Chain A
Amino acid sequence: METKLCGIKLKNPTVLASGILGTSKSLLARVIGNGAGAVTIKSISFEAREGHKNPTVIAFEGGMMNAVGYSNFGVAGALKEFVNLNELEAPIFASVIGTEAEDFVKVVEGLKGLDFAAIEIPLSCPHTPGFGTLAGQDTPEKTFEITKAVVKKTKKPVFIKLSPNTKNIGEVAKAAEKAGASAITAVNTMGPGMVINIEAKKPVLDFKVGGVSGPALKPVAVRCVYDVYESVKIPIIGAGGVLTGKDAVEMMMAGATAVGIGSGIYYRGIDIFREVCSEISEWVEKNGYKNLKELVGVAHE
């Protein structure tokens, strides 16, 4: 089950996706204790942010939808919360957000002293003004510019997290690779979508729209990973609707080296990581593969 991602050793390929449970060191420790191969913190901006008003997270028949709006305690809070991350028994990935390239750089430099194994840069949030797709960060040009600026300022591997809504995700991935990204995380939430309560005659999310995740996102995510795999040589963290070991195998066949799990926690609880891993093992054994590496990208052959 051991997986190597940009030179980082993971005891298995499951990664806690950013935005879910990544608010504190003790919660990260708990997720690791439940089998995650690596964990990603909730995204950090330079200044603290309150995010959108409730309701911010809902679940509908096909998945989850959120418009949390990047609430986070900022760099100052992160420096207090994420101390001595080396004590945890798996690599921790930072997640860094900003509006302009220099905002990302400011956060990356602010977090320099913390023991993050890599830095993820989401350029793909669909529900926060000033960030992600609402700030046009999902174009190849902006992706190149921001990636380049961040890579220049850190020795750590930089993962660029892409949006499933982009017309040509392969081109965006290429821009990130060309700018020096070490890996691609595919994908962020989809949409935005909307759920209207017909009795209240109003959207349920206070921000009205939110990013769609969970089962509804999975086929889109698999296609995105497939497209990115065709476009770049750097490894891919495949995320979007992974609930079971078979979902993870599917992501790997599309081209993912590691798999992100987020909304799955709603469906199966925190120990989803352990369960998915044992389900992957079972499948791999039954189907005669020697290791996970052999699985990556086989759908392209």
Chain B
Amino acid sequence: MSELPEIVKIIKITQENPCVKTFFFDKRIQAKPGQFVMAWIPGLDEKPFSLSYVGKETGITVEEKGKFTKRLFQMKEGDKIGIRGPYGNSFGLKANACVVAGGCGIAPLSTLIENLKNPFVILGARSKDRLIFEKRFPNAKITTDDGSFGEKGFVTDVLKNVLRDRKSEVIYTCGPEVMMKKVFEICESHKIGCQASLERYMKCGFGVCGQCEVNGFRVCKEGPVFSSESLREMKGFGGFARLKSGERVSVSEYIQWRCA
């Protein structure tokens, strides 16, 4: 057993929107939908990213936010980074599914969508220029907060309408945690199972350091995908997250720190 990064070459980079790129690697990774890898830029840092492409192509879809992603965005085809993983659990595949993605949250959901039979996909973003993968999933129902593309409003508004008309057994979701929390509450009131992919600051990625803990759950090991039974027990879901020191802060304070 070992958990060491393997150096891979970036063979293709696609610009998904002004702040999001997908980086494709020259290595096939056997991973289930929802799993993540730790990406290492030697001398800089190492961070977890969901795999957004698995199979013929292997890739991660990244939003430019902090020091690490800024450096990654300067990289060109042919440059190399380190990868270890895949880590974490995966989405449990079920029929009659609805997928709710907000912004970059589509990344872990995209390989799931490709493994589901006719899922109803709701793809939301702040505005038209922030959408990701709207061409990859042409059947998706699009929403934008400002109405610049698709339906004006939030993904949760569309979800409520969808649940009125369509029998759904499970809702898969990833996106801003406030959004996921809202999706989960809608699922609870409709008595529908929910599977949400969470994000927390990580160190080891394989369940020993305790850094990404939320109410006794390790996001890197029991997660990142949590189903309703666990989400009900997780007061920290939509509540708190830990900074690098392990200090508990509100999710909004955590996000500010992550993007700084």
**Residue positions of A touching B, CB distance < 8 A:** 20-24, 26-27, 29-30, 42, 48-51, 53-61, 64, 66, 68, 71-74, 77, 80-81, 195, 197, 199-200, 202, 204, 206, 262-263, 265-267, 269-270
In the docked arrangement, what's the CA distance between A198 and B247, Å?
A: 36
In the docked arrangement, what's the CA distance between A54 and B48, Å?
A: 11
Q: Are B213 and A50 in contact (CB under 8 A)?
A: no
Q: Are B82 and A72 in contact (CB under 8 A)?
A: no
Chain B residues lying within 8 Å of A267, measured Cβ to Cβ, are 1
CB distance from A181 to the nearest CB of B (A): 27
In the docked arrangement, what's the CA distance between A57 and B247, Å?
A: 19
Q: Are A71 and B244 in contact (CB under 8 A)?
A: yes
> Which of B5, B210, B215, B218 meets A197, CB within 8 Å?
B5
Chain A residues lying within 8 Å of B6, measured Cβ to Cβ, are 199
Q: Are B4 and A204 in contact (CB under 8 A)?
A: yes
Q: Are A64 and B208 in contact (CB under 8 A)?
A: yes
Chain B residues lying within 8 Å of A206, measured Cβ to Cβ, are 43, 45-46
Q: Are B216 and A30 in contact (CB under 8 A)?
A: yes
> Which of B45, B206, B207, B215 meets A54, CB within 8 Å?
B45
Chain B residues lying within 8 Å of A197, measured Cβ to Cβ, are 4-5, 7, 42, 82
CB distance from B89 to the nearest CB of A (A): 13
Residues A57 and B216 in contact in the complex (CB < 8 Å), given A27-B210, A204-B4, A204-B5: no
Q: Are B246 and A20 in contact (CB under 8 A)?
A: no
Chain B residues lying within 8 Å of A270, measured Cβ to Cβ, are 207
Q: Are B203 and A266 in contact (CB under 8 A)?
A: no
| Beta-carbon contacts under 8 Å, B23-78 to A | 38, 40, 42-47
Residues A60 and B246 in contact in the complex (CB < 8 Å), given A26-B213, A200-B82, A206-B45: no
In the docked arrangement, what's the CA distance between A262 and B210, Å?
A: 12
> Which of B45, B215, B242, B243 meets A26, CB within 8 Å?
B215
Residue B2 lies at the interface, judged by CB distance under 8 Å to chain A: yes
In the docked arrangement, what's the CA distance between A57 and B210, Å?
A: 11
Q: Are A199 and B7 in contact (CB under 8 A)?
A: yes
Residues A80 and B245 in contact in the complex (CB < 8 Å), given A195-B4, A200-B42, A263-B208: no
- Nearest chain A residue, comparing its CB with the CB of B244: A50
Residue B80 lies at the interface, judged by CB distance under 8 Å to chain A: yes
Q: Are B245 and A74 in contact (CB under 8 A)?
A: yes
Residue B248 lies at the interface, judged by CB distance under 8 Å to chain A: yes
> Which of B5, B43, B207, B246 meets A71, CB within 8 Å?
B246
In the docked arrangement, what's the CA distance between A50 and B245, Å?
A: 4
Residues A51 and B244 in contact in the complex (CB < 8 Å), given A20-B210, A29-B216, A60-B4: yes
Q: Are A77 and B247 in contact (CB under 8 A)?
A: yes
Residue B111 lies at the interface, judged by CB distance under 8 Å to chain A: no
Q: Interface readout for B242-257 with A: 1 if CB under 8 Å, 0 if not?
A: 1111111000000000
CB distance from B1 to the nearest CB of A (A): 6
- Nearest chain A residue, comparing its CB with the CB of B46: A54
Chain B residues lying within 8 Å of A59, measured Cβ to Cβ, are 1-4, 206
Q: Are B207 and A51 in contact (CB under 8 A)?
A: no
CB distance from B69 to the nearest CB of A (A): 14
| Beta-carbon contacts under 8 Å, B227-250 to A | 242-248
Residues A23 and B211 in contact in the complex (CB < 8 Å), given A54-B47, A197-B5, A200-B42: yes
Chain B residues lying within 8 Å of A200, measured Cβ to Cβ, are 5, 7, 42, 80, 82
| Beta-carbon contacts under 8 Å, B168-221 to A | 203-204, 206-211, 213, 215-216, 218
In the docked arrangement, what's the CA distance between A50 and B246, Å?
A: 8
CB distance from B204 to the nearest CB of A (A): 4
Q: Are B248 and A81 in contact (CB under 8 A)?
A: yes
CB distance from A110 to the nearest CB of B (A): 15
CB distance from A195 to the nearest CB of B (A): 7
Q: Are A73 and B247 in contact (CB under 8 A)?
A: yes
In the docked arrangement, what's the CA distance between A237 and B37, Å?
A: 36
CB distance from A40 to the nearest CB of B (A): 12
Q: Are B247 and A24 in contact (CB under 8 A)?
A: no
Residues A77 and B210 in contact in the complex (CB < 8 Å), given A55-B40, A195-B4: no
Q: Are A48 and B209 in contact (CB under 8 A)?
A: no
In the docked arrangement, what's the CA distance between A265 and B218, Å?
A: 13
Chain A residues lying within 8 Å of B45, measured Cβ to Cβ, are 53-54, 206
Q: Are A21 and B246 in contact (CB under 8 A)?
A: no
